[in-house]
Amino acid sequence: MILFATSNLHKFKEAKEIFKRYDLKIKQVGIKYPELQSDKLEDVAKYGVEYSVQLTSAPTIVEDSGLFIEALRGFPGPYSAFVYRTTGKEGVLRLMENLKNRKAEFQSVIGYCEPNKKPIIFKGKVKGKISYEIRGKFGFAFDSIFIPNGMTKTFGEISLGEKNKFSHRGKAFRKLCQWLKQKLR
Amino acid sequence: MILFATSNLHKFKEAKEIFKRYDLKIKQVGIKYPELQSDKLEDVAKYGVEYSVQLTSAPTIVEDSGLFIEALRGFPGPYSAFVYRTTGKEGVLRLMENLKNRKAEFQSVIGYCEPNKKPIIFKGKVKGKISYEIRGKFGFAFDSIFIPNGMTKTFGEISLGEKNKFSHRGKAFRKLCQWLKQKLR
């Protein structure tokens, strides 16, 4: 059993769907850990999981993710949640008005830590582009303005199971699950 | 002698100008402290100064500030430095296009801490509005798009000494200096 320190139910559901495929168990715990200000998600995840594992005394993960837009020099990046709460998707689309370079990348970083051990990091990313309008009602945060490469639909227009197949978070969680399976052999 | 943990020379110069008026000494130290992700500057300052004082073993301050725009629900707020580095002033003006409510507030929070003591917080703020264009070459960050109430010029169009008279940071530093003077009596 792995504990997932998060208050985000969307993230937890995505994780659970993947854990189930690997026949592994995961449980949500509502720990509020200190999130660092850093341009690197890895720093945020490491710091957060080291803090959380001290409270849980059990194998624990945290996950941090962000949308990095090339033409905006990585904005909103590690502060995607704050930007979503304040300017919203509409704000990001407005910043992208008349910009031809719409390249963007979703990144996910999982920090895994056992008591009295060093954290281990698992990463996933997906390249794509920012749409010209909000599309779809699935997913959360910036899903409905992100079109992964090779697709025409946004993450907001596909189901959770489908999104997990090639999303940043899906990739990171599969890496974690494969590693856990290896470990349990 | 107070140590100011910051890598921002602009901030240090503003602080020094005020300390000088109070006949107090301040020195810049290039400590990189962990900055929390929080919508409250106070949390960032407390956490940062508690960390810094352990390295300096001497009375130490950190200062965190941000621009809070009402129509953007507090954006860019505690992440002003990151937003400045990525979308820039131009991005903020773009988000404000066609918005009539241009109310904004600059906030500054100083965390002061002596070794083995609890941190003390000093705050300053200044209300104003976001200009329609970038004006002035003084100051730094968002100074050149912020017009304090009762003025027609932006913070970018006035000198450091003049800005300090009613800026958020000026107010917070005067509170700190008055408190330090009281303490030294």
Question: Measuring CA to CA, which residue among B178, B183, B172 is closest to residue B11?
Answer: B172
Q: Six-digit token pair at A33?
A: 């850990």
Tell me what pLDDT residue A32 has: 87
pLDDT digits (tens, 9 = 90+) for B69-113: 999 999 999 999 999 999 999 999 999 998 999 999 999 999 999
Out of A34, A44, A95, whose CB is closest to B95? Answer: A95
pLDDT digits (tens, 9 = 90+) for B120-141: 999 999 999 999 999 999 888 9
Helices then strands, counting H and E runs in chain A, come out as 6, 7
A64 is catalytic: yes
State the nearest Cα–Cα gap between B108 and chain A, in angstroms. 17
Q: Rounded to whole angstroms, how far apart are CA atoms B145 and B153? A: 9
Structural domains of chain A ordered from first start: 2-184 (3.90.950.10)
The three-class DSSP label of residue A135 is coil
Q: Rounded to whole angstroms, how far apart are CA atoms B108 and B168? A: 5
Angle at A85 between CA B39 and CA A13, to 5 degrees: 105
**Other Cβ atoms closer than 10 A to B161:** 12
- A79, closest residue in chain B (CA to CA): B79
Tell me what pLDDT residue A100 has: 96
What are the DSSP E strand ranges found in B51-166?
Answer: 60-69, 76-77, 103-113, 120-130, 146-148
